[in-house]
Amino acid sequence: MALTSDSEEEYYSSPEEGGDDDDRLSFRTASNESDNDAGAGDDADDDCLYGDSDGDDDGMYDEYEGDEEEGLEEVDEEGEVLDEMRFTATQYAVLTMDEVRARQEEHTARVADLIALPPGLAAAVLRHFKWSAQGVWERWFSDEHKVRDAVGLPPDGDAVSVAVNDAPLTCYICFDAHAPGEMRSAGCAHFYCRGCWSGYVRAAVGDGARCLSIRCPDMGCSAAVVRDLVDDVADADDAKRYGEFLVRSYVEESKRIRWCPAPGCDRAVEFDGEKCTVQLDAWCACGHGFCLACGEEAHRPVACDTVREWLEKNRSDSETAQWVLANTKHCPECRRPIEKNQGCMHMTCSPPCKHQFCWLCLGPWDKHDGGNYNCNTYNTARAEGKYTEEELRRAQAKASVDRYLHYYERWGAHERSRQKALEDTAALGKDGAQREAVAAAFGVVETELDFLEEAYRQVAECRRMLRWTYAFGYYLDDPAKRDLFEDLQSQADKSLERLHECAEKDRAKLVAEAAGEHGAVADKYLEFRPRLSSLTTVARNHFENMARAFRDGLAEVEVDPAVAARRAAAAPPPPPLDDDDDEDFFEELRM
């Protein structure tokens, strides 16, 4: 829930950022030095393409016969899979904004009782330790004086968050005299009138979340200004904004809670522990999934480090540079990269160079134009494996780009397919546009279509998981683990494609046949429903098994001999190269 609009305040995740003390009326914040002394610097730290089905409709399910047996065999694993999924769901809680406020107040009240401070000051102490009760417990009882000094509490005795003058005093900001009860202090000896306090708080709130760290206006005083005092002296709008910053601080400075990053969602997700340090996908009530450890989109079963590295690679300009190297040639004179955009081989470099050369051999064009044309001459040195440094560099860059594009294309294609599955899920959901029509075509009530919605949800989840395995595969170097990885990925992909084809194509066929063949469609529906449910279970089990293998670091690197034989049989032998093929290969290197 970070602020992104230019008209809104910049949120600082650390309470010690920013602030000038030059103007007495400007708000004052806690210093970095005091926080460091108290140890508050703890580290917070493509659409699916299916093969066309041949044959009549009665043979619609023949190709799935073997998979039905496989599905029935794997149903026994369903209980274990569901238990693991339920356990994951209990590791976090989704909170609304009101629930976040209630959790913050409850948290603050417990710590206030523990250290015997008013709730406003207890909240300041908690925030100093990133809202960690454990941190408060360890530091407060080991060196209370140091914590008091860092937070802005009196060194000893009872601390109060708001003090009222009991005698006539002069406000040292506006220099007006005020009767008893008309002035306030932050528990210190420096009293100011309500008007000056209100302006002071307004200036602080207007500068953003740093208002949570303001201190007494007196330059020599470090007393903390907390929620109790703000509510007493500020107007309603300023007090409300201060409260919003405080709630956001509870989420954004905590190690346990994260805002849902979905646009427009104001819910938060709380981890059931001190801090989530390993990959854990959480699903908000809005339907968005993200990792509690790194904050990126849900990426099970791939580790956070791999995801960060992959996304950074996609965002960087390095691949553009690699493309330039693979698809352009340098001018032999000025070394400027040139891309060929016309059919003629006569190249002219742009001014001021204007060097003319041949695109194929990079030799000066005047030699070609003068009759000494030798680009067609076979290069014996290359046939012996002797290449220039530039030719080798270009060939390596082209291979690197091709490898990256292989994984990136599949990573993106599965995401597009996942989005389509989500659209189908919504269309077949309880309020979906297609649900009523499909139910009528099948001759059943709408409530009996939950299995279809579940299948599409499983498709979307499997697409997401399979998508991220390509990021993992890009960085996997161990040949033994790669064999196991590719076999797991292949089996999961196979089960997913069968599920998606059954849910999409077979369903479409049944709906298309609905007109005038109600009896036949009803019979086929009775076959379609258990088939789709079985394929849903098979896909779920395949992907959960793959996730376990990823979690264990692909420890089972010994591939089954039958699997190895199947993989070897599926790989076609390389075709023999003749002289023309050799020439084409080296021509590609030159191009």
List the CATH number of the domain containing 184. 3.30.40.10
Amino acid at 340: K
Residue 342 belongs to some domain of the structure: yes
Q: Which residues span the domain enclosing 456?
A: 313-556
Bridge partners for 178 per DSSP? 169
Residues 262 and 222 in one domain: no
DSSP string, 528-558: HHHHHHHHHHHHHHHHHHHHHHHHTTS----
Residue 163 belongs to some domain of the structure: yes
**Which stretches of the chain drop beneath a pLDDT of 70?**
1-89, 317-326, 369-388, 390-391, 394-395, 397-398, 515-520, 556-591
CA separation (Å) from 357 to 333, 349, 368, 369?
9, 8, 9, 10
Category of 287 on φ-ψ map: left (φ > 0), alpha (ψ -120 to 50) or beta: left
Residues 424 and 482 in one domain: yes
Residues 497 and 449 in one domain: yes
Start-end of H helices in 552-578? 561-570
Q: What per-residue string of b and e applies to 432-455 under the rule 16 or more CB within 10 Å gives b?
A: bebbeebbebbeeeeeebeebbbb
Q: Two tokens at 75?
A: 């149903």
pLDDT score, position 522: 76
Contact 207, 9 (CB under 8 A): yes
CA separation (Å) from 97 to 33, 103, 104, 106, 308?
33, 10, 11, 14, 29
Cα separation, 478 vs 474, whole angstroms: 11
344 among known catalytic residues: yes
pLDDT score, position 350: 86
Closest CA to 433 of 420, 446, 418, 419: 446
Q: Which residue has the tokens 């670091």?
A: 553
**Chain centroid, CA 195 distance in Å:** 46
Residue 154's H or E segment, with its range, is none
pLDDT score, position 521: 75
Closest CA to 508 of 577, 451, 438, 447: 438
Rounded to 10 deg, the angle between the 304-315 and 450-474 helix axes is 80
How many structural domains are present in the chain? 3
Residue 367 belongs to some domain of the structure: yes
Residues 135 and 165 in one domain: yes
Residues 96 and 177 in one domain: no
Of 254, 271, 290, at which residue does a domain stop? 254
Residues 435 and 526 in one domain: yes
Residues 541 and 499 in one domain: yes
Q: Which one of 48, 344, 349, 462 is the catalytic residue?
A: 344
Residue 36 belongs to some domain of the structure: no
**CATH number for 492:** 1.20.120.1750
Residues 506 and 495 in one domain: yes
- Other CB atoms within 10 Å distance of the CB of residue 558: 10
Residues 363 and 241 in one domain: no
pLDDT score, position 28: 52
Residues 247 and 368 in one domain: no
Residue 563 belongs to some domain of the structure: no
pLDDT score, position 104: 94
In sequence order, what E strands does 17-157 have? 28-29, 92-95
pLDDT score, position 556: 66
Contact 187, 223 (CB under 8 A): yes
Residue 39 belongs to some domain of the structure: no
Residue 416 belongs to some domain of the structure: yes
CA separation (Å) from 285 to 223, 249, 423, 426, 432?
41, 22, 17, 15, 18
Residues 6+ apart with CB under 8 A from 319: 313, 401, 404
Residue 71 belongs to some domain of the structure: no
pLDDT score, position 365: 81
Residues 361 and 401 in one domain: yes
Residues 179 and 206 in one domain: yes
pLDDT score, position 447: 87
